[in-house]
Amino acid sequence: MSDASNARRRERLNGPLFVVMSFGLLYVSWAGARGAEHASVALPIFFDTPYLAVRTVVSFVFLAFFLVLMARQVLLMIFSVLDQLVRARAERRRRSARGPTFEPLVTIIAPAFNEGKVIEGSIRSLLSLDYPRYEVLVVDDGSTDDTLERARALEGEYPNARVEVLWKPNGGKAAALNFAIERAAGEFVLCMDSDSTLARSSLSEAIRHFEDPDVGAVAGAVEVVNRHSLWSKLQFLEYVKGLNLVRRAQGFVHGVSIVPGPLGLFRKSALTDIGSYSHDTFAEDCDLTLRLLMDGWKICYEPRAVARTEAPEELISLIKQRYRWTRGILQALKKHRRALLGGTPAIVPKIMLWYMVFEALLWPVMTSIVVAFLLAAGLDSAIRPAALYFWVMLVVLDTATTLYCLAIDGKNVLYAFLAPVERMMFTIVLDVCRGLASVEEVFGVEMSWGKLERKGRV
């Protein structure tokens, strides 16, 4: 049975489970609130002294953080369930439809800079795709290792694909992608990272969305393959719960805010209309997606199109990566700041912009105040019961959400045991990192790209 068939079977079997878990999470939240009322767990509200006033404000922010997080998780799951129902209905229509299969020529672009350890595995994964005809353009962006030689060893004609290796002086990922887009023969282009591999059915599953002429791009799912360290295991969980779940929910309204670098399929005409990739942010994928949304294109999500990628295994590498992501997202949002308050082609792009502003700016601030609240709980007995209660509720909420996400993606549910660790350590570290990166971006602190050194786990 193919990967796609297995995915569809899991979706049919898990359909009722998704609904049950969503309502179960709502019930847990309601029961927790009732329990707090009967147990007389309350936040101390006093303004008699400066310390008490600060404590009250911090307590209110912590409560707001909990309520917003609860609302966010529930809404994301509800929208992802709705997306699943729409997807299942479209699948039934597709099976009953008569006529030729939609299989246009697709150009796959893999930019590479010093990826000698992983480039061969990446190209071989592309040669095993279950799509009738496509071309692969590997762009060596002035590598100083053996990337070019390893890639050219696989250049040539294959039964269903043609692999061509291009070379250009080093100019960055955006320049390499644009270099290949100009030379692409296909009317659709799949952009990927050369350190990733694609699941066999990725292209055939993603291309179907373009039967709708208003679809400009399709975001794929990203899966962490190197789960050898605690940090990489937690990133696997983060991708499943924090990234793929968001894209599922956004996919319901065709408003995915970031088409990920490891797997994004685009209508070439849409890219040329907006000028393809830009060079002025650290997050070229986010900037490109926002420009497509602002131009009126639908952006879909396809969970059965999967890119397997290698995540940082050391804390310092992870922090460097997230610094770049955060600053790049803020740079992209800054370019569209007028659309936040001014007119936009539709309401969906405006909502996605404000959602990203909240995630990038307000959320790290709220997290920092939550940390202050918890630290104060160790010294102030008045807020200790409330801190303990709400923290337990946060862990319950995270665990329920994690179970839901693992189930909907067909992953090992035992990873849910890491949910408390993610909440108490990983999420706080990342949010503090994002907060510091935001401050540096506001003050214009210089930063280089900071390429991640791969270990060849893919």
Strands 197-198 and 161-168: unpaired
- For residues 265-274, give the mean pLDDT: 96
Q: What is the pLDDT of residue 165?
A: 97
Residue 344 lies in a domain: no
Residue 104, helix vs strand vs coil: coil
Q: Over 70: is that where the pLDDT of 378 sits?
A: yes
Residue 338 lies in a domain: no
Q: What is the pLDDT of residue 32?
A: 59
Q: What is the pLDDT of residue 47?
A: 81
Residue 332 lies in a domain: no
Report the number of distinct structural domains present in the chain.
Answer: 2
For residues 244 and 372, membership in a common domain is answered with no
Cβ contact 59:42 at 8 Å: no
Range of the domain at 21: 3-93+353-442
- For residues 197-207, give the mean pLDDT: 95
Please give the mean pLDDT across all residues of the chain: 85
Tokens coding 134: 């496509």
Residue 35 lies in a domain: yes
- For residues 339-358, give the mean pLDDT: 84
* 223-255 pLDDT tens trace: 999 888 888 899 999 999 889 999 999 999 999
For residues 238 and 208, membership in a common domain is answered with yes
For residues 385 and 420, membership in a common domain is answered with yes
| Residue 129's pLDDT band (cuts 50, 70, 90) | very high
Higher pLDDT among residues 375 and 116, named by residue: 116
User: From the DSSP assignment, how many helices (H) and strands (E) are in the chain?
Assistant: 17, 9
Q: Over 60: is that where the pLDDT of 12 sits?
A: no
Q: Over 80: is that where the pLDDT of 384 sits?
A: no
Residue 343 lies in a domain: no
Q: What is the pLDDT of residue 35?
A: 56
Q: What is the pLDDT of residue 221?
A: 95
Residue 271 lies in a domain: yes
For residues 295 and 211, membership in a common domain is answered with yes
Q: What is the pLDDT of residue 13?
A: 46
For residues 195 and 109, membership in a common domain is answered with yes
Which of 65-79, 122-136, 302-316, 437-451 shows the lowest mean pLDDT across its residues?
437-451
For residues 43 and 142, membership in a common domain is answered with no
Strands 106-112 and 156-157: unpaired
| Residue 1's pLDDT band (cuts 50, 70, 90) | very low
For residues 271 and 360, membership in a common domain is answered with no
Q: What is the pLDDT of residue 149?
A: 96
- For residues 163-179, give the mean pLDDT: 95
DSSP labels, 1-57: --HHHHHHHHHHHHHHHHHHHHHHHHHHHHHHHHHHHHTT-------SSHHHHHHHH
Domain limit, last residue, from 301, 321, 341: 321
For residues 286 and 172, membership in a common domain is answered with yes
Tokens coding 53: 């006033």
Q: Where are the beta strands (DSSP E) in 272-364?
A: 298-309
Tokens coding 338: 């007028």
Residue 333 lies in a domain: no
For residues 82 and 124, membership in a common domain is answered with no
Element (DSSP H or E) covering residue 222: strand 215-224
